Structure 1
């Protein structure tokens, strides 16, 4: 799939792909040296660890993101929204704030996720 590499388009694609479970398309949005941090949990370093996370370790089994606000400033973006889905067989819903940094090729090189749940 071809994705417009401006940050807003990349992030719109990100939420679409993650909700669809399309790991291959999702990983094309990230730089090989991606660092993904989720406070209270171990950092994910590199595209291989990110693949493992999305294919095997992500505790959310199903669901969708609803973006309330996206602010883009050059190579940085902040997104606020809500997620509803399934975790450990239970229906869940929570708010999130994601922050992203993009490299010069328009790929996500740093990602931070903050939620009002301890483990996602």
Structure 2
């Protein structure tokens, strides 16, 4: 893992991703504004681009098909203003279906917040 410049990411990429998924897996939606920029964009398979913090919050609170689960991070890579991670998600959908998906994420950061997030699944999935 490369070292970032202090003016870019104040914590390591691993710490950043760990905190992000603690917030998401804990369904602590009120903490998302500490991680996403006001003018962020989230690209996720199966959805139109989710633009703006309000839309990201709405996605997590109302639209996301997951009712419970946990992200297991296998690896994190980082550069000056971006972080990538990959791993596995295991959980339960709102319809009761068991979910078990491999994923990768790219984060383009503006300081300590996500400006753009791109999620990829290994097949058409959740």
Q: Does TM-score exceed 0.5, indicating one fold?
A: yes
Q: Aligned-pair distance for 1:7?
A: 5.1
Establish whether residue 100 from structure 1 lines up as the match of residue 107 from structure 2.
yes
Establish whether residue 111 from structure 1 lines up as the match of residue 102 from structure 2.
no
Return 5+ residue gaps in structure 2 as ranges. 1-8
Deviation per CA, 1:58-88, whole angstroms, max 9, x where unpaired?
1111000000000011111110000000112
Query: Between Structure 1 and Structure 2, whose CA radius of gyration is higher?
Result: 2
In structure 1, distance between residues paired with 2:123 and 2:26: 22
What are the within-5 Å matches in structure 2 for residues 64-75 of structure 1? 64-75=70-81
Is the contact between residue 69 and residue 89 of structure 2 (CA under 8 Å) also seen in structure 1?
yes
Establish whether residue 76 from structure 1 lines up as the match of residue 82 from structure 2.
yes
**Residue from 90, 98, 105 that aligns with 2:97:** 90
What are the within-5 Å matches in structure 2 for residues 8-87 of structure 1? 8=13, 9-87=15-93
Q: Aligned-pair distance for 1:12?
A: 1.4
In structure 2, distance between residues paired with 1:95 and 1:116: 6
TM-score, normalized by length of structure 2? 0.85
Further displaced range: 32-41 or 12-21: 32-41
Aligned residues: 116
Q: Aligned-pair distance for 1:118?
A: 2.6
In structure 1, distance between residues paired with 2:98 and 2:46: 22
TM-score, normalized by length of structure 1? 0.89
